[in-house]
Structure 1
Amino acid sequence: MNNTAQIKKNYKLIKFQKLVIVSILIGFLSAFLGLVLKKATEHYEELFFHKATINPIFFIIFPVFGLSIIYFLRQYLFKRKENKGIKEIFESTNSKSKNLPSYKISSHFINGLLTVVFGGSTGIEVSTVVASATIGSVAQRKENVFRQYKTELICAGVAAGVTALFGSPIAGILFAIEVISRKVTRAFVISNVIAVSIAFGLITILKEEPLFAVTITTWHIKAIPYFILLGILAGLNSVYLTRCVLFFKLQFSKINTHYYKILLGSAVLSISLYIFPQLYGEGYHSIKTIFGNTSQIPLTITLALTFIGLLVLKPIVTSITLASGGDGGVFAPSLFIGAFLGLLVASVLNTFFNSGVIPINFMIIGMAAVLSASIHAPFTAIFLVCGLTNDYTLFLPILVVCLISKYTAKTIYPFTVYSFTPSILK
């Protein structure tokens, strides 16, 4: 009896040690992948965007070239399989037999990079999430002892990837809980805490700066009613984004010849980029520009129409980018929409109602609110946006507005692009 108990104890200890080791490896590899993809995308997106602004003909050439290259890579290198985004992770975690094949790491890495740098109006976040989830999935299959930890190790990869992109380990873990796992086990806590710690340690050693360098001084109680208004508008905008993605994916799925999808998608994308260059790629360059000029931008009719045009077109061009073969998701578009929505609301309030609100606060809160409503993950959105700015001054209003936006969106349309399946009747 004592020998049996000792054997069980030793086995548990060995299993624990292996879980720690594999979590360290997953954390490092996922974070490294995320950082390399982030840096490569930032560099080449800036380079290609600069070329296009000098010679606008590239706004026409880049999208059709990028989508064509992605199509041929899928046909001849990546087994002719479409990338389904985060739904691929759900299919794996909900099934004992389905796994994320190892080629998904390179597939999402390369296709995510090509989509954004050639003007696709989406972001690399979902590409990173699926690629890093695949790292966890591959690691889980290497040892029989990890068979029962499939979801936990996939989530560890996801959490580490999100941490590397946004500089917030809390956001990484919360995203894994709110979107992927929806349950917390002892193994989940161990593997995910270790993975995000390694990821955060890596970005700290490399001295990664926050994506948006902003200074937030304070916020005023009198702005609370306006924050509530922003939350409701953010919920409405997120539903519009979700419905656009689902609608255009359905319509493009009816086109049998894939190159017709590429030509149609490229035409819409090129025209949109030519009129509104701010829509190019992730759009973070546009957000950084307006962050630096919020106090110097007087609201004119032309500027208001520009903001409205961006809010109307961004969901459409994002949807068409994805429907015509691009790789990405709704993370970056949600942040983009939220920033411009927040600035528009603040500018209208200050110009026509003399409200005296702080535009930069509305931009940051708007980013979190639209993301919260788009993925139905308010706590992920809170810590993710606070991590992007490395500032928690607005934590309380962001919390309130994220909850308002999520439940506004959920009341109007209960699905996200992740939870909707074609079998559900609209």
Structure 2
Amino acid sequence: MTKTAQIRKNYRLIKLQKLSIASVLIGFLCAFLSVSLKRLTEHYEEILFHKASLNWVFFLIFPAFGLFVIYFLRQYLFKKKENKGIKEIFEVRDNANKKLPVYKVPSHFFNGLLTVVFGGSTGIEVSTVVASAAIGSVAQQKENLFNRYKTELICAGIAAGITALFNSPIAGLLFAFEVISKKITKAFALTTTLSVAIAYGFILILDEKPLFEVSVSNWHLHAFPYFLLLGIMAGIHSVYLTKSVIYIKNKFAAIKKHSIKIIFGSIIISASLLLLPQLYGEGYHAVKTIFANAESVVLTTSFTISLIGILLLKPIITSVTLASGGDGGVFAPSMFLGAFLGLLTALVLNTFFDANVIPLNFMIIGMAAMLSASIHAPFTALFLICGLINDYTLFFPILVVCLISKTTAQLLCPYTVYSYQPKTVQ
């Protein structure tokens, strides 16, 4: 072996070792951040939602208070920069000169936490994703050797964050590939696999429980055509969510004074929460309640109106939350909407068409279908939902319905909230 060949070999070995060490550290830090944010959010959201349930005045106070605190933090702590969600990651990925600064970690952590616990109708998933991506980006900036691996290290952070948040390493890997990277390189495989392994080991040590502990016994072949119908409906409804977010954000962007945005936004959020308290925060509390009682729910007139109200209002209140300064995205809203869309579909089929379908199955499949259609990532949605309930009984119907919902959504609207690019006037 020549001296030049030996130097190259040593360089590759050093590079591999450093990438491996960086991936392990990223995996641990992102898992720690993800679990911390999840536990804090669950704890304080439960406390504040309980307070508001006992005294409706808090439904008026909490949203405005949360949005004003977020604005204060942005102005005086986070360099007056608004969080753009996953679009920030795309901008950094596509521009060699752009980086995710380190302050994006606390910015998304605290803003995501405050948004949800004070009633903003979104979730912490996107906050976790961007904060995790920022950890990966910072690691890339600290070592000149990593300059060409910016996307891979960002994806390592994202994959670890998703793994810890949803208890699903496969969902973490697939999200990093389907939504962010769009390609697999050797460096991508190495960094994401190592970070995900560390993140998954971390949550196993902590004995993290699935978000929704449900028991799925089976599914019936006669329900399959109805599953397909649910997939088409989820695809259509996801477009309503996407269009709502984009339209309302554009309307709020025209309001120059931020205090007016907050006041106007908090009035809409508070009014919606007074009408339908299930819309508070992530809404997982409402989903858990329905999961526990899915088989005994009866389709009364008042319950039907509530379900339709949830399906129509959730995209609007989510859009208003984001447009008025809240931090988050469409992950949690999509799953929330999918659960209630699935429940309504099953109840209508059983009540009026004697279909004899299982409402719980439709709720689970609906969650996956809406998420798949909203982010155009069917395989991520498949493994993420199976990981959330820690059950793979519905694997095949979820796979088929996710593909159908995504295809339906793409036919109606080629972009998602994250990939939308506003038209520029020439």
Common fold: TM-score over 0.5? yes
Give the whole-Å Cα distance in 2 for the aligned partners of 1:36 and 1:93: 27
| 1:136 aligned residue | 136
Give the whole-Å Cα distance in 2 for the aligned partners of 1:110 and 1:360: 34
| 1:399 aligned residue | 399
| Alpha-carbon distance, 1:164 to partner | 0.6
| 1:24 aligned residue | 24
| 1:289 aligned residue | 289
| 1:114 aligned residue | 114
1:344 aligns with 2:344: yes
1:306 aligns with 2:306: yes
Q: 3-state SS of the aligned residue for 2:334?
A: helix
| 2:33 aligned residue | 33
| Alpha-carbon distance, 1:7 to partner | 1.1
| 1:54 aligned residue | 54
Report how many aligned residue pairs link the two structures: 425
- Per-residue CA deviation, residues 130-187 of structure 1 (Å, 9 max, x unaligned), is 0000000000011111001000000000000000100000000100001000000000
Give the whole-Å Cα distance in 2 for the aligned partners of 1:34 and 1:421: 29
1:174 aligns with 2:174: yes
Q: Which amino acid aligns with 2:124?
A: I
Q: 3-state SS of the aligned residue for 1:292?
A: helix
Give the whole-Å Cα distance in 2 for the aligned partners of 1:241 and 1:270: 20
| 1:374 aligned residue | 374
| 1:11 aligned residue | 11
1:151 aligns with 2:151: yes
| 2:160 aligned residue | 160
Give the whole-Å Cα distance in 1 for the aligned partners of 2:15 and 2:158: 22
Structure 1 runs (4+) deviating above 4 angstroms are none
1:258 aligns with 2:252: no
TM-score computed with the length of structure 1 as normaliser:
0.99
Give the whole-Å Cα distance in 1 for the aligned partners of 2:415 and 2:191: 29
* CA 1:301–1:130: 2 relative to 1, 3 Å: same
| 2:191 aligned residue | 191
| Alpha-carbon distance, 1:296 to partner | 1.1
Give the whole-Å Cα distance in 1 for the aligned partners of 2:350 and 2:132: 43
Q: Which amino acid aligns with 2:344?
A: L
Q: Which amino acid aligns with 1:51?
A: K
Q: Which amino acid aligns with 1:186?
A: K
| 1:68 aligned residue | 68
| 1:318 aligned residue | 318
Give the whole-Å Cα distance in 2 for the aligned partners of 1:300 and 1:349: 14
| Alpha-carbon distance, 1:424 to partner | 6.7
Give the whole-Å Cα distance in 2 for the aligned partners of 1:286 and 1:424: 41
- Per-residue CA deviation, residues 25-84 of structure 1 (Å, 9 max, x unaligned), is 000000100000000000000000000000010000000000000011111111101100
% of aligned pairs identical? 67
- Per-residue CA deviation, residues 174-233 of structure 1 (Å, 9 max, x unaligned), is 000010000000000000000000000000000000000000011111011100100000
Q: Which amino acid aligns with 2:335?
A: L
Give the whole-Å Cα distance in 2 for the aligned partners of 1:192 and 1:62: 38
Q: Which amino acid aligns with 1:49?
A: F
- Per-residue CA deviation, residues 287-344 of structure 1 (Å, 9 max, x unaligned), is 0000000111111111111000000000000000000000000000000000000000
Q: 3-state SS of the aligned residue for 2:83?
A: coil
Structure 1: runs of 5+ lacking an equivalent: none
Q: Which amino acid aligns with 2:169?
A: P
| Alpha-carbon distance, 1:275 to partner | 0.8
- Per-residue CA deviation, residues 86-135 of structure 1 (Å, 9 max, x unaligned), is 00000001011000011000000000000000000000000000000000
Give the whole-Å Cα distance in 2 for the aligned partners of 1:424 and 1:231: 34
Q: Please give the root-mean-square deviation of Cα atoms over the aligned residues, in Å.
A: 0.8
Q: Which amino acid aligns with 2:73?
A: L
| 1:276 aligned residue | 276
Structure 2: runs of 5+ lacking an equivalent: none
| 1:244 aligned residue | 244
TM-score computed with the length of structure 2 as normaliser:
0.99
